[in-house]
Structure 1
Amino acid sequence: MAAILSCPYHSFGSNSPTTARTPWIRPRFLGTHNCNAGPSSRRAVISFCSSSNNHQAHNKEKRRPFSMKECAISLALAVGLVTGAPSLDLSAGDAIAASPALPDLSVLISGPPIKDPGALLRYALPIDNKAIRGVQKPLEDITDSLKVAGVKALDSVERNVRQASRALKQGRPLIISGLADSKKEKGEELLRKLEVGLDELQQIVEDRQRDAVAPKQKELLQYVGSVEEDMVDGFPYEIPEEYRDMPLLKGRAAVDMKVKVKDNPNLEECLFRIVLDGYNAPVTAGNFVDLVERHFYDGMEIQRADGFVVQTGDPEGPAEGFIDPSTEKPRTIPLEIMVDGDKAPVYGATLEELGLYKSQTKLPFNAFGTMAMARDEFENNSASSQVFWLLKESELTPSNANILDGRYAVFGYVTENEGFLADLKVGDVIESIQVVSGLDNLVNPTYKIAG
C-alpha cells in the first residue's frame, strides 16, 4: 500500500513488492465522532446508518502498527524549541533534516482555522465576490453562537441573522452582477429562496426554537454555496499539456460511498457523501471519478484504519495501484496542489521542495474527513488509486500548520456522516461508490473504453 507519511523511526511492513513507510499515530480525540447518542447504547442518529447484530471480523490487516512515540516527541521538540520555521524532513528515512517543513509559528496563532468541510469548499471556489461572502460569514458564525448554552445563544444568532439579511439586501446588485450569464436566472432564484429563508430563520429565533436553528442554517448555507458556484463561468485555467489527455474533473462532483461494517454490533452500514473539487485538483479528482465509474472500489475492503487515517484503494495482487486494461500498465497521476492565491495548481513537487514554506493550500487538511491521494513517499508522481481520509484530531495535524499540507493532494471532503469514519475498521467493505452529481464535468473518461 502506498504511504501517506514517513516517520524517522518506524515503518510498517507490507505484503506488496515494496515497503512503504507510514505512521502510527494515536489520536487525541477532542470530541465524539461516532454513533453514541447516550451512555447506554449506540443509536442510529443519522438516517443513513442502521443497526444490526454483531459481525465477526475475519479479514487480516495488511499492516501492523508500531509505536510512534519517538516521532511525536521529535515533532514536539521541533515546534517548541526551534526558533523560526520548525523543520522535519519526513522523507529522509532515519534522519532529521534542517530544511524547513512547516510554516513558522506565527501561523499557529494567526486565528481559528476553518474546519467545516462545507465552508472549506465554499472558500475554495475560484470567485472573488465580497458581497456574497458578506452573507456567508455571519451565517457560518451561527455555529459558534450556538456553542453558548441554552436560549441565551439565540441573542447572538439573531445578530448573525440580521447581519446576513442586511448584507444580502445591500449586496444583491453586486451578487447578481457576479453571476455567470448562463447561470444568472438560476442564481437569482436561489437568492429569492435565501431571502425567504432568512426571514424564516429570524422567526425561528424570535420563537426561541433553538433546535430548529442549525437545520435552517445548513439549508441557507447550501443556497449560498449554490449561488457561489453559479458565479464560476467555465473552467478557470488551462491544464498543463502533459496532463490534458488524462481524465479531468473540470468542476465539482459528489459521490456517495456505502460501507458495510463487519465488526460493530450496533452499526451495520453507513453512507458517506463526498464532494470532489475539480477546480483545485482536476487531475486528481478526475482520476478518482473515472475509477469510480469503473466500479474499481466496489467490494474493496478498508485496508487501514489506525486512528490517524482511513485508507483503501490497494487492489489484490502485486500491483499497488490501478492497471489500465487498455494498456496493461499502471496509471499514475502527478502530485497536484493548489496554493491559495494562485490561479492554477503546481504539479510534481511538494511546497517544501518549491521553497513555499509559508504558503497555504486552497484545499487544506483542516476538516475531519479530508480526502487525499496516497503515494510512495519518495516519488511525488506515484499516486494511482489509493486514497485516504484524515481523522483530524491527531497531534501531528494542527489546522493551517501540519505535516500533510503541501505534501499530499487533497481533492475533496466528506460532507455528510464524516464522524462515522472513526468507526470504520480494517476489513469493512465498500459496497459501492456512486457519482450522484457532476459526472458531466468529467472529461476524457477512460471507463467508456472497451476493456
Structure 2
Amino acid sequence: MAALLSCPYSAASPASSSSTKFFSRHRPPFPISHNHLATRRSSPLPIQCQIHNQQKGKSFSIKECAISIALAVGLMTGVPALDWCSNAYAAANPVVPDLAVLISGPPIKDPGALLRYALPIDNKAIREVQKPLEDITESLKVAGVKALDSAERNLRQASRALTQGKSLVVSGLAESKKEHGVELLGKLEAGMKELQQIVEDRNRDEVAAKQKELLQYVGGVEEDMVDGFPYQVPEEYQSMPLLKGRATVDMKVKVKDNPSLSDCVFRIVLDGYNAPVTAGNFVDLVERHFYDGMEIQRADGFVVQTGDPEGPAEGFIDPSTEKTRAIPLEITVEGEKLPFYGETLEELGLYKAQTKLPFNAFGTMAMARDEFEDNSASSQVFWLLKESELTPSNSNILDGRYSVFGYVTQNEDFLADLKVGDVIESIQVVSGLENLANPSYKIAG
C-alpha cells in the first residue's frame, strides 16, 4: 500500500481501502485520482432507475493540467514522464503509444456503436448506412434549427446508401437469418421515412429516440449477417463455458444511503464473438447466481468492481474440482480472426494494435486479474467509469492489458452513483443464453 499512498493521484479512498486485495492484486494497473474526472449527466433519465435528484457539479483542478503535460512530455520525448506518480506505474512501465495513434481520428464512445463495429462481418454497404445515422448524434449538438438541417443531411445520406446498397446488404445476410434480416430492413426503411417526417415537422425532441430505433434495426441486420460462430477456440479452452455469440443481462443494484438514487437496473451486452471464454465464464457464473447478493467492493471514481467471494478465495471455486477457476487473458484486435490468449499486446509487441472491444465507453466491462499474472482472472469484474488523461479513447493504458467482454448499454451513467456496500440484488440473462456452450452450472428441478 505504501507505493499507492505515496502517489498524489492515488485512487485509494476511505470507502474502498478496506478491500486491500483490490489494490494489491485484482485491480486496473494504475492508481488514478477520481477528483479530476468529470461525471457524465447529459443523457435523459433512464426509466429503470428510481431517481430523486440527479444534479451534480463538475470540477477542474491544476492536477488535470499537470498530468496532461506529463503525458504530453512522455509522448514527445519517449521518456516515461509519469514514473514519479507511483512505484506501481514504474513496475508496469508500459510503452507510451505513438502520438499518431492518439490523433488518428475521433474515437467511438457509444457502446452501441462499439458493439456494432465489433461484429465479425465485412459488409461495406450496411456500414455506409450505419455511419451517417450515428452521426446524427453529433448533429444534434448544434444549437437551434441548424441541428435539424444537419440531421436531415445525415438522414438523406443514410437513405441513399440503403437504396443503392440494399442488394449487397441482403446478399450479406446469413441464409438461416435472411428472412429476419429482410424484415428488419423493411422496418429500417419505414423508420427512415418516419424520421424524415419528424425532421420536416421540426420536432427536434423526437429525433434522438427515432435515431436509436433505427440503429437498433441496423444492429439487428448486422447480427443477421453472422453465420454461426466464426472460429475455433484453442483446444485448451474448448471444454470451458464459452459464449459463442452475444448475450444480454440485467443487473439490478440496490443503492444504500444515497439521496439521489435508490435502485437501478443496468443492461449489459456481453460479446462472445470477441471474448468467448471470458463472456462464457461470466454467463455461467450468472446462471449459478454467484453475484446475487454480493456487494460492490470498489467504487473510487475510476472503476466499480465486484466479484470477490467471502472467504480466502479471490475467485470462483468450482465445486467439481474444488479449485479456483482461472480464465486466460483474452484480447481480439482489428485484422485478426480470433483472440490472442495469455499475453498482453505489449508482451506480443503489438503496440499499435487496436482492440476490437476497446476501453472507449463509459461502462466498459472487463475482468480484473493479478497485475503480473496474465491468466489469473476468475470472477472479479470491473466497469470503467471515466475517460481520463491516462485512458484516452482508442489509445490508453488499459487496452490490450485486460479482457473486455461487454458494455453497459442502459443506465451506464448511474454506475458513478454506486458505492462500496451497495448490493447486487440479481443478475439475470434476458437473451442469448442459447449461445452458452459447455455450461457447468446445475439447474435444480
TM-score calculated relative to the size of structure 2: 0.88
Instruction: Using the aligned pairs only, state the percent identity.
Output: 74
On the 8 A contact 2:367/2:403 being kept in 1, the answer is: yes
SS of residue matched to 2:113: helix
Following superposition, the deviation at residue 83 of structure 1 comes to: 3.5
Residue 232 of structure 1 deviates from its aligned partner by 0.3
Q: Distance in 1 between matches of 2:293 and 2:92?
A: 44
Match of 1:250 in 2: 244
State the 1:80 CA deviation: 1.9
- State the one-letter code of the partner of 2:33: I
Sort the Cα spacing of 1:267 and 1:390 in 2 relative to 1 into closer, same or farther, 3 A.
Answer: same
Match of 1:28 among 22, 32, 36: 36
Question: Which secondary structure does the structure 1 equivalent of 2:284 belong to?
Answer: helix
Q: Quick check: 1:239 aligned with 2:233?
A: yes
Question: Aligned match of 1:376 in 363, 370, 378?
Answer: 370
Residues of 2 paired with 1:386 and 1:317: CA distance?
14
Structure 1 stretches lacking a partner, 5+ long: 38-44, 54-68
Which secondary structure does the structure 2 equivalent of 1:433 belong to?
strand
Q: CA deviation at 1:28?
A: 3.3
The one-letter code sitting in structure 1 at the alignment partner of 2:188 is: L
Cα deviations by residue, 1:406-425 (Å, 9 ceiling, x for unpaired): 00000000000000001111
Report the CA distance between 1:93 and its aligned residue: 4.7
Whether the 8 Å contact between 2:249 and 2:267 is mirrored in structure 1 is yes
- 4+ residue runs over 6 A deviation: 5-8, 10-13, 69-72
Aligned runs of 1:101-180 on 2, under 5 Å? 101-180=95-174
Higher alpha-carbon deviation: 362-371 or 147-156: 147-156
Query: What's the secondary structure of 2:106's corresponding residue?
Result: coil
Q: Which residue of 2 is the match for residue 421 of structure 1?
A: 415
Of 73, 77, 81, the residue aligned with 2:70 is 77
Change (3 A) 1:93 1:378: farther
Aligned partner of residue 268 in structure 1, secondary structure: strand
Which residue of 2 is the match for residue 59 of structure 1? none
Pair 1:268 & 2:262 matched: yes
3-state SS of 2:76 partner: coil
Instruction: For residue 348 of structure 2, give the secondary structure of its aligned residue in structure 1.
Output: coil
Higher helix share: 2
Change beyond 3 A, Cα 1:163–1:78: closer
Q: After TM superposition, give the deviation of residue 79 of structure 1 in Å.
A: 3.5
**TM-score, length basis structure 1:** 0.87
Paired residues of 1:335 and 1:347 also in contact (CA < 8 A): yes
The amino acid of 1:136's aligned partner reads Q
Measure, in 2, the Cα distance between the counterparts of 1:86 and 1:416. 40
* AA partner of residue 370 (structure 2): D
8 A Cα contact 1:277 1:285, kept in partner: yes
CA distance in 2, matches of 1:174, 1:374: 41
> Aligned-pair distance for 1:394?
2.3
Q: Secondary structure at the match of 1:189?
A: helix
Which range moved further: 264-273 or 362-371? 264-273
Asked whether the equivalents of residues 275 and 415 of structure 1 are also in contact (C-alpha less than 8 Å), the reply is yes
The equivalent of 1:63 in structure 2 is none
**Where does residue 406 of structure 1 map in the other structure?**
400
Which deviates further from its counterpart, 16-25 or 261-270? 16-25
> Aligned in 2, Cα 1:86/1:313: closer, same or farther, shift over 3 Å?
farther
Contact 2:251–2:427, Cα closer than 8 Å, also in 1:
yes
Match of 2:441 in 1: 447
CA distance in 2, matches of 1:135, 1:240: 35
Distance 1:111 1:261 in 2: 38
Alignment of 1:328 onto 2:336: no
Q: CA separation of 1:268/1:344 partners in 2, compared to 1, >3 Å: closer, same or farther? A: same
1:309 maps to 2:317: no
CA distance in 1 between partners of 2:215 and 2:75 (Å): 41
Q: Deviations over 1:255-294 (max 9, x none)?
A: 0000000021231100000000000000000000000000
1:199 aligned residue: 193
Contact 1:86–1:101 (Cα < 8 Å) also in 2 = no
Q: Which runs of 5+ in 2 are unaligned?
A: 54-61
The answer to whether 1:385 aligns with 2:393 is: no
Q: Distance in 2 between matches of 1:313 and 1:232?
A: 32
Distance 1:238 1:254, change over 3 A: same
8 Å CA contact 2:247, 2:433 repeated in 1: yes
The answer to whether the Cα contact below 8 Å between 2:68 and 2:389 also exists between their aligned partners in 1 is no
Distance 1:255 1:204, change over 3 A: same
Quick one: distance in 2 between partners of 1:283 and 1:125? 17
Q: Does the CA contact (< 8 Å) of 1:307 and 1:422 recur in 2?
A: yes
